[in-house]
Amino acid sequence: MNLNGVDYQRERTPNGHRVQMLPSLAPLVRRDMPNILLSHNPNTFNRAAELGIELSLAGHTHGGQIQVEILDHRLSPARFITDYIAGTYFRPLDMPAVNVRALKDVNYKASNEAPVSSHAQPPLSVLYVNRGLGTVGAPVRLGVPPEISLLVLRRA
């Protein structure tokens, strides 16, 4: 397997201009073996899927650290910084990164299982965002238990 790792990736410059995520990763992606990306923050997922990364593993969000349920919706302050707060997410592999919200409308969203459809689907890229053990700011977790994950990778 081809394992790559990146530190915190910024989506914007200090003066607010958008920048391309993972600018130097493209030449490192291999087509002859599975590619895994270890990324500090989950916002790299859109670009990683576009580049052909089959599995991305990230943290940074602490699972939102605080999460409340209101009218069957789980709300978290982490929503202000990312659409990927905790758990498993899916995107089409090798397709141009598009607005995440649009993909959620066609069932590419957080779930414990890959989206299922009667129509043929493109191969999927998977992101797993770990909630971690720590906190940022106030040493409090509300509705977001700490997590240590054990992932088992198997040959397809």
Residue 149 lies in a domain: no
Residue 24 lies in a domain: yes
Query: Which residues, other chains included, contact 65 with Cβ-Cβ below 8 Å and sequence gap of 6+?
Result: 76, 77, 78, 135, 136, 137, 140, 141, 142, 144
Residue 156 lies in a domain: no
Residue 143 lies in a domain: no
Q: Are 90 and 126 in contact (CB under 8 A)?
A: yes
Measure Cα distances from 71 to 74, 102, 105, 145 in Å: 8, 23, 20, 21
> Looking at residue 58, what is its pLDDT?
94
Say how far apart CA 119 and CA 55 lie, in whole Å. 23
Q: What is the pLDDT of residues 81-92, one digit of tens each?
A: 788 888 899 999
Residue 147 lies in a domain: no
What is the number of structural domains in the chain? 1
Residue 76 lies in a domain: yes
Residue 86 lies in a domain: yes
Say how far apart CA 152 and CA 74 lie, in whole Å. 28
Residue 145 lies in a domain: no
Instruction: Report residue 127's pLDDT band, with 50, 70 and 90 as the boundaries.
Output: very high
Q: What is the pLDDT of residues 39-48, one digit of tens each?
A: 999 999 999 9
Find the domain containing 95 and state its range.
2-129
Say how far apart CA 130 and CA 56 lie, in whole Å. 11
